[in-house]
Structure 1
Amino acid sequence: MEEKTIKCPNCGTLNTGKKYCTNCNKSLSQEILLQKKLEKIKQQEIDKVIYERENPNFTERLKKHPFFLYRIFGWILYSGYVVASAIGAGLAWFIAMVAAG
């Protein structure tokens, strides 16, 4: 089997049969680069979920407020959002059914 000669994208050094550049130690293997990219994306998704849990939206904060009037107002806002979403979903379904014939 013939060993591949790969030019380092970072420094331009030619490397034969290596996974890392002999000059700058940058990864030359596509599998390693892909694995690092997937790990980075996975960590970004984890950070996003943590941020959303630690920083709830306005309605969620009102629903858990210690003062009962604010809690009631939060539930009213939430209920209005749910009703508006249900009306929108029903309207979209009706238009789809009319268009389908």
Structure 2
Amino acid sequence: MSSSLDGLDEGRLDALLTGATPQPFGTFAQRLPDPAEPGPGVDRVLVACRDFTGLLDAGVPMLTFLNQPPWRRFDLPTGHWPMLSAPAELARVLDKAVS
């Protein structure tokens, strides 16, 4: 099983596959030329699951800004679908992020 599916039992995987819709291709092709800064007072939070933490910890150059302030990083040791594989842990992280 792919590590992005870590934590999904057969029932949750079936629910995911049944309810999933394809991601629009434009989201892969579109690139913003100069992402706008959100402005002062806007919190920057990253909830990183197992696959993404590996990329962040490996020092992938295009992601290094996510390991630096003003970003606050919260890691979850699960696959890409924490709302299904670790809902209680995700809720705790989101609560901590806004507290």
Q: TM-score range by the shorter chain?
A: under 0.3
Larger relative contact order (Cα-Cα within 8 Å, sequence gap ≥ 6):
2
TM-score by length of 2: 0.21
Q: Could you say which structure has the higher strand fraction?
A: 2
TM-score by length of 1: 0.21
